[in-house]
Amino acid sequence: MSYLDRDTYGIYRSDNYVDTDNTGPGPRLMGADTLIGEDVYNRQDEDLGDIKEIMLDIRTGQVAYAVLSFGGWMGMGDKLFAVPWQALQLDTINQRFLLDVSKDHLKNAPGFDKDNWPDMASTEFNTELHSFYGTQQNVAGGVTSTGSVMGTGTGTGSLQSDPGYGSTTGGGNLSR
């Protein structure tokens, strides 16, 4: 099921949200609820899982991560993992997201299970995660490894420099 199928409020029915001028990857603003369950594939057309949750950085007002589910069967034994939002690209032709990693590489991604979430706001978690995906931590206007430009919001905090995010208490360790 794609974001178009989950559009219960008619967000994408207007030409304002469709890439009619071929200047962008598709809708420029999307409802978070319509993205939950969205498929994620890599450039080799391998299914990498689907989006289970979208994590917002309340201090900066930006999307920080998508939480993906990978592996398992019928929801049992799934590995959850956070992917920096800027590592994902919207594929409007196939109505899914692209993540530029191989399936084998993803098997080694820092992950967790549904009963043991890490402290996603910790410096340790952010450093490990952005290093794994080759992205930068919350740098507005920065360019990702895939060439897309990160948001240019006016938030002044960053995950690296904000002292409120330096805590590693509360489950900062990641399992693999």
Q: The domain that contains 94 carries what CATH number?
A: 2.30.30.240
- Kindly report the pTM of this predicted structure: 0.67
| Nearest alpha carbon to residue 72 among 88, 40, 49, 52 | 49
Range of the domain at 45: 40-133
DSSP β-ladder status, 39-41 and 96-99: parallel
Domain assignment of residue 95, yes or no: yes
Domain assignment of residue 103, yes or no: yes
In the structure encoding, which two tokens stand for residue 126, read together? 């952010």
28-44 burial, b at 16+ Cβ within 10 Å, e below that, comes to eebbeebbbebbbbbee
How far apart are alpha carbons 81 and 137 in whole angstroms?
Answer: 17
Domain assignment of residue 154, yes or no: no
- pLDDT per position as a tens digit, 23-82: 544 566 788 888 999 999 999 999 999 999 999 988 888 899 999 998 765 555 578 999
Domain assignment of residue 5, yes or no: no
